[in-house]
Amino acid sequence: MNKVWITGRLTKKPELKKVNDNCVCKFDLAVNSPIVRDGERQTDFISCVVWNTLAENLCKYQDKGSLIGVEGRIQTRNYESNGIKKYITEIAVNNIEFFEKKDMPLDQLTTKTDFDKTGQIEISEEDYPF
């Protein structure tokens, strides 16, 4: 099984890019590591990629330092640059949760990617604690 859940903070403002007719956003999450060295907790920086509506919502409603949770799968890919083969390991994000509200509608706090064909999450305003 290839399934990953992580929570972390965006290391910079997410930027939306177009690839053919799709939107894509590549971003890094700073995730607290359980390892403590010299009295300081270590941080891991995890690369992620998200597509289409989910990418648009991330770029529209979140900023550098925003706390988010992602669910996805680990994927690897490679490419060649100047005759050197380079490898990339990243999380292909399927779901995302925004933990901090920043001028966004309540129905955007949790959203699913276009690739999830099970449909939308139905949440009533009574379900929100605020």
> Mean pLDDT across the stretch 59-82?
95
Q: How confident is the model at residue 113 (pLDDT cuts 50, 70, 90)?
A: very low
pLDDT attached to residue 34: 86
What mean pLDDT is predicted for residues 62-82? 95
Is residue 123 assigned to a domain? no
The answer to whether residue 65 sits within a structural domain is yes
pLDDT at 81 over 70: yes
pLDDT at 30: 96
Residue range of the domain that includes 14: 4-114
Average pLDDT over residues 88-106: 83
Q: What is the CATH number of the domain that holds 110?
A: 2.40.50.140
Residue 82 lies in a domain: yes
**Is residue 95 in a domain?**
yes
CA distance 55 to 58: 5
* 120 within domain boundaries: no
Does any domain span residue 127?
Answer: no
- Per the structure, the count of domains in the chain is 1
Does residue 128 lie within any of the structural domains?
no
What is the pTM (predicted TM-score) of this model? 0.73
pLDDT at 120 over 50: no
Does residue 79 surpass a pLDDT of 80? yes
| Summary mean pLDDT of the chain | 84
CB proximity list for 108: less than 8 A, separation 6 or greater:
57, 61, 98
Confidence of residue 114 (pLDDT cuts 50, 70, 90): very low
- Dmax (CA) of the chain: 57
